[in-house]
Chain A
Amino acid sequence: MAGIIGFGAYIPKYRIKAEEIAAVQNANAEAIKRGLGLTEKSVPGKDEDTITISVEAARNALARAEINPREIGAVYVGSESHPYAVKPSSAIVAESLGVGNDYTAVDTEFACKAGSATIQINAGLVDSKMVRYGLSIGADTSQAEPGNALEYSAAAGGAAFIIGPNEEALAIIDSTCSFTSDTPDFWRRAMQPYPSHAGRFTGEPAYFKHVVGATKMLLEKTNTKIEDYTYVVFHMPNGKFPMNAAKIFGVTKEQIEPGLIVTKIGNTYSGSSLLGLACVLDIAKPGDKILMTSYGSGSGSDSFALTVTEKMVEAQDRAKKTQDYVDRKEYLTYPQYAKHMETIH
């Protein structure tokens, strides 16, 4: 199949600690942190949104790919927080990258797997030779209603991947598959500013059924075992769910922890599993095998098996790494956070 010829991440500089939110929600911060498996989350700057996050991630991906942006034939941005209801984020991102006019573009939406699905679309376009390169992005400035449990985890960030021919790949996509059903676990109706969710129903019949279902399907399809993979990345709505999914498959700490970025920055919705993938690509060595399974409420999971190539070695240092963005941070108070999220003006 096609492969990843460039990848890049972006996480805003601002953070808020669980203690700050718990003080406003009159909740026990320690219990929240234990329950969710995270201590703080990223917050967008006042001038940041899904488009600006996508652009910086994509510029990092272009720097690693070392291609002329005009060779990109497809641009897809997956998000739950496109700044416009009608006007494509993907066209603004492409314009800022200098892609030109000879490309197809569309914004995608499938809760948190809107970005991973576009990797499958671009792999199809590349393999069928309809385009030479395709750009896939998953990014969000995640929404959470003030006072809701989601407020502790809903974060901002994203990752971009340039998909191209197998022979140019930093990581070859060995196989991909999806597990999908109609499941009412998490949704946001049209014109509503914040999502709603079905509480504990978001676990077993939603996240775990689909993540486990897609991952099993991929292992069977590729005739591989979980121990064949150097790194495993599962979608990260919080710090607990991916660790519980890891236990089901017998995934070791060494396999799961390098991509477990949620504990440091929170849940970046469409960016979540893709940022986890960017984390492991930052440190992966030739020959390493990576398994990544996304999850989007509603519900579906896309699972990918990847093998890192020799080309990865030189590409890793051509752009800022995910960890560079994780380490750069400035903490906000709750009133500052509320201004950043535009809940007060």
Chain B
Amino acid sequence: MFRDSSIIRWRNYSDRYMLEGYECTNCGKKYFEKKGMCVCGSLDFNNLSFCGKGKIVSFTKIHSGPEVFQEQTPYCVGIIDLDEGARITAQIIDSKYKDLSIGQEVEAVFRKFYKSGEKGVIHYGTKFRPKF
């Protein structure tokens, strides 16, 4: 469910702004989102900074998104395998839907997510664009 909260977004600045994730200290599996437990059963993780390079696993075009994204509609969203091994869902920008393909190389960029109304906070974070 979409929740428009500047505080919730602020708690995630390090991962949304700088693409920081987690690496299991036992098996080395990497995650973008924080996990309570690794698939190997370990509860211990180290912080990790992803380099921002990856490949598209799948993608789609959103015609009817949350109200705060209306300015950007239609837009593309994809599942991306980062070079380090973690998987992330993110907006793919600076490309038409017809020009995207599975396996295409993409790179992370810092962009505006949305504005909370006319008076609210502007939210920023990581999106991806085709590598050039």
Binding site for B on A (CB under 8 A): 13, 45-49, 51-52, 55-56, 59, 83-84, 92, 95-98, 324, 328, 339, 342, 345
Contacts and interface: CB of A to CB of B under 8 A. Distances in A.
Interface string B38-59: 0000000000000000000000
A324 B124 contact: no
A50 to B, nearest CB: 11
A47 B93 CA distance: 9
B32 to A, nearest CB: 17
A97 B18 CA distance: 7
Given A45-B94, A324-B132, A328-B132, A98 B18 contact: yes
Contacts of B110: 52, 55-56, 59, 96
Interface in B1-60: 13, 17-18
A13 B99 CA distance: 15
B122 A45 contact: no
B67 interface: no
B124 A342 contact: no
A13 B94 contact: yes
Nearest to A54: B110
B35 to A, nearest CB: 23
A26 B72 CA distance: 29
B124 A52 contact: yes
B86 interface: no
A96 B18 contact: yes
A305 B122 CA distance: 38
Contacts of A55: 110
A45 B18 contact: no
Nearest to A46: B72
Given A45-B94, A47-B93, A324-B132, A95 B111 contact: no
B71 A345 contact: yes
B127 A47 contact: yes
B112 interface: yes
A96 B124 contact: yes
25 contacts: A13-B94, A45-B93, A45-B111, A46-B71, A46-B72, A47-B93, A47-B111, A47-B112, A49-B112, A49-B122, A51-B112, A51-B122, A52-B109, A52-B110, A52-B112, A52-B124, A56-B110, A59-B110, A84-B122, A95-B13, A96-B17, A96-B18, A324-B132, A339-B71, A345-B71
